[in-house]
Structure 1
Amino acid sequence: MPRRKTTPAPASVWDAVPDVVQAEKLLKETEERLRALPPTPTPEEARQAVIDAAVDAQRTDGAPIPADIGERAAGAYTAALAPHAERLALATAVNALKRRLPLLKSRGSRSVLAALSAQLDDVLAEVREITDRSGRLDAATAIDAGEQGVADYRRLTELVAVVDDIRKTQRSVYGETGDKGVLASLYRQGHDQFCGIPTTQPDDVGQWSRAEPSGALPADVLEVVQGRRRRDVPFLLYMAESGRAWLPLDVEELEDEARGAENTGTPEGDRNPFYQRETAVSEPSAPRRSRI
């Protein structure tokens, strides 16, 4: 059976977005040209240097101010115009490209993430084929299953590394297009890896029910999601079997999933978690007219 293509992402995830590739190439070339320029004074600095030199000579040596000081200063100013303008043009181009790149990456991120999502689907499909053929393998059962079991278990460990690459690339794309603080919160909940995760938080004046919310991730899976354990074969099997593994195609879809999966739980004492006490504020009395 031919093996599905589950190779890691390219060195640069943006290689598949022509506009980003072109902009990054232009930025690199322009930055190299800018760095190669020798240091030069501004026209104002060049003109002032001629004037300062003449004044210093008069003060220290008694030399008269040259009769052509104006021409000399103007010549220095003119000579400095071209190199200064070149530096200014290149610096302006660098800044413009740096400002444009986030926009181009935002536009192209969906196609990049769609390709990653398809790659993840291929991984999960291959995992299901393996479990259909050899069962839920671990290091011990793989040996008992013979040569095919060992080969299948070895392939599962390879697919764990592929998933690592996919998720790393996925987050790098989100980091280019979303708020890093918001993303970190969503990552801790696991919304970027699994759909349907409930979001619970304590009430200001009470505690939620101790019952685990419906749809919560298993403890060992949550440890991986929160970075306390590395991905392993059992995690990979859960991804394939749960039907909840996914890869949002943009930051907005990721945030929408998190909002849509919110679960307020059951507050103790039947408190309404969204209740806010309202304090009536009386209107100020109308000013009284003085009789004086």
Structure 2
Amino acid sequence: MARRKTSAPASVWDAVPDVVDAEKQLRETEERLRALPRTPTPEEARQAVIDAAVEAQRTDGAPIPADIGERAAEAYTAAIAPHAERLALATAVNALRRRLPLLMSRGSRSVLAALAAQLDDVMTEVREITDRSGRLENADVADEADDRDAAMTDYRRLKELVQVVNDVRETQRRVYAETGDAGVLASLYRQGHDQFCGIPTTQPDDVGQWSRAEPSGALPADVLDVVQGRRRRDVPFLLYMAESGRAWLPLDVEELEAEARGAENTGTPADGSNPLSQRETSRI
């Protein structure tokens, strides 16, 4: 079976032509602006001629030239073109800088959809490896497999896929940062809503233990450690992503916030069944 492409995009916005074009225009316009020599405004050029004539009269007794008006007008006229060019380029740069956030906001869903598809490919490949070689949590398990060489190759691939997930999640958060409130996002990230669906709002205490009975849908402690930054993603975390069926990538900040509210309001049914099975949630 051909291996899927699972490398992260070179740029967050490579999949959004409008953003790519605007960024290219901005770079080129900024370069043109920086290359322009410093020139006076027409008013400054005209005033410089007048000031020079007055200073010559004051210090040397030279009379004000009879054509001082023409000289000043010529200086003013000569300064119009270079000043207008600088003004036009500076105005264009400001306009492009103001427009880019709007274009990024409009294009963010397509970027996130591409990332979600990439994450889906990763999960599919992880499941295929597990079906083929078993649950390869570490190198020792792979080393003890019946087909050691194949298992070690699969284990190395799992380690590569961990880095792919790191890249996808980093890019995902960079996109969210363009449209979401930093404080709200930080709270959602700490609870793991950007990575797994159906997480209850009950949080562990400061020492990482649940202060009361673990609610339905709570993340395992080792997974929560990764979500909250106490551990790095590793192969067991990757396996949990694939096995849980709860790994997902919201397509915008609104969907992310809606998932958090939905998890908060679902609760645990009186019959003890899993509420996640009764909800329609887009998941990977």
TM-score range (shorter-chain normalised) is 0.7 to 0.9
CA distance in 2, matches of 1:200, 1:59: 83
Q: Contact 1:199–1:263 (CA<8 Å) still a contact in 2? A: no
Give the match for residue 96 of structure 1: 95
What's the C-alpha RMSD, in Å, of the aligned pairs? 2.1
Please show how residues 134-173 of structure 1 align to structure 2 within 5 Å: 134-137=133-136, 138-145=138-145, 146-173=148-175
What TM-score do you get using the length of structure 2 for normalisation? 0.86
Distance 2:18 2:182 in 1: 24
Displacement of 1:162: 0.9
Deviations along 1:205-246, one digit per CA (max 9) or x if unpaired, are xxx963333222122111211222111000001101111100
Q: Which runs of 5+ in 2 are unaligned?
A: 205-209, 268-284
Secondary structure class of the residue paired with 1:182: helix
| 1:87 alignment partner in structure 2 | 86
Which of 247, 252, 256 lines up with 2:249 in the alignment? 247
Tell me if structure 2 keeps the 8 A contact 1:199–1:264: no
Aligned equivalent of 2:111: 112
Amino acid across the alignment from 1:77: Y
- The residue aligned with 1:261 is 263
Offset at residue 133 of structure 1 (A): 2.1
What SS is found at the alignment partner of 1:109?
helix
Q: In structure 1, what residue type is equivalent to 2:54?
A: V
The count of aligned residue pairs is 260
User: What secondary structure does 2:264 align onto?
Assistant: coil
Identify the residue that residue 210 of structure 1 maps to in structure 2: 212
| Alignment check: 8 A CA contact 1:193 1:247 kept | yes
Equivalent position of 2:183 in the other structure: 181
Residue equivalent to 2:71: 72
After superposition, give the CA deviation of every residue in 1:85-138 in whole Å (9 maximum; x if it has no partner): 000000111111111111111111111111110111111111111112222112
CA distance in 2, matches of 1:66, 1:84: 27
SS of residue matched to 2:127: helix
- Identify the residue that residue 39 of structure 1 maps to in structure 2: 38
State the partner residue of 1:3: 3
> How many angstroms apart in 2 are the aligned matches of 1:211 and 1:55?
89
Checking the alignment, whether the CA contact within 8 Å between 1:109 and 1:250 is kept in structure 2 is yes
Indicate the SS of the match to 1:13: coil
Q: Which runs of 5+ in 1 are unaligned?
A: 203-207, 266-292
Relative to the length of structure 1, the TM-score reads 0.83
Name the CA shift for 1:219/1:68 in 2 (closer, same or farther; >3 Å): same
Shift of 1:201: 7.2
1:190 matched residue in structure 2? 192
Structure 1 runs (4+) greater than 6 angstroms displaced: none
Give the match for residue 129 of structure 2: 130
Moved more, 129-138 or 152-161: 129-138
CA distance in 2, matches of 1:112, 1:175: 13
Task: Give me the whole-angstrom Cα distance separating, in 1, the residues matched to 2:13 and 2:226.
Answer: 27
Task: Work out the CA distance in 1 between the residues paired with 2:41 and 2:266.
Answer: 63
Contact 2:191 2:203 in 1 (8 A): no
CA distance in structure 2 between the aligned counterparts of 1:150 and 1:183, rounded to whole angstroms: 38
Q: Is the 8 A contact 1:41 1:80 kept in 2?
A: yes
State the identity %. 86
Rg larger for: 1
Q: Distance in 2 between matches of 1:209 and 1:262?
A: 18
Cα distance in 2, alignment partners of residues 123 and 264 from structure 1: 29
Deviation per CA, 1:138-161, whole angstroms, max 9, x where unpaired? 221110001221111111111111
Q: Is the 8 A contact 2:45 2:76 kept in 1?
A: yes
- Structure 1 position 263, deviation (Å): 5.9
Residue 82 of structure 1 aligns with an amino acid whose one-letter code is: A
Q: Partners in 2 of 1:128 and 1:201 — Cα distance?
A: 30
